[in-house]
Amino acid sequence: MVGDGSVKDKFAQLGLGDFVHKLWVWFALQNGHLVDVLRMLATFTADCATACQSLPLTSAVAGTGPRKLPTKISLLHVIINTIDKEMEQVSRTRNLSVLELCFVILGNCCSVLECRILICKSALLNSAGRLHPAITKKQKPWDFVESLWLEFLQIFSLHPEGQSHIAKNSDVFDLILSLTSGKLPNRTTALLVLRNIAFYQPNRSRLMTSGWYHIISAL
């Protein structure tokens, strides 16, 4: 599938995402299997709108095929829920491959409107609350986790839905502001997220009164 859009389109038509969703419980039993299937999904959704569009249409119910309309229990929801679970288990010894790959898949799916709407309707951003300094204490591996969130938010905020949704979540918005004074390269990425947010007209007044507008305008 690597670099071959026609192959990805064919797999999407054949219901690859739906097949993975039906076997997800089995994949999740072992971290190695889960990492492998997430790598496959990351490749599947890379630069392929058809593949991304298929993820909100899946079902875990045996004997059924992909749905015609997005559901609230699709494979994309499973990916989001996996991020939430992984955020609860971040530690010095925790392998972060699952979290990293889930963010890659979500970043790929941001190119599709249906996926962006689903992300906005989910509780994904609430998981970012664990990035609060009171929890991370600025220790490893939280700097890497911060980078995963910021890289995703940078992609998500390229679109109006993301710009609006991020700004509406006060905790996440304030967190991004705080990370603009953190360490490189996360500081730069946080500034890029703020710059993207500034393109959405309703957000500008809030940014200007936040005291950080002079930094954003310098980018």
Domain-by-domain residue ranges, the chain?
Answer: 1-122, 128-219
pLDDT of residue 190: 94
End-to-end CA distance of the chain: 37
pLDDT of residue 139: 73
Run means of pLDDT, 10 residues per run, the chain, 219 residues: 87 95 96 97 97 96 84 95 96 93 98 97 93 74 94 98 93 89 90 91 74 55
pLDDT at 183: 85
> What pLDDT does 109 receive?
98
pLDDT on residue 212: 59
Three-state SS across 36-91?
Answer: HHHHHHHHHHCCCHHHHHHHHHCCCCCCCCCCCCCCCCCHHHHHHHHHHHHHHCCC
∠ Cα 83 28 78 (to 5°): 40
Task: Please tell me the predicted confidence (pLDDT) of residue 215.
Answer: 55
Give the pLDDT confidence score for residue 25 in this predicted structure: 96
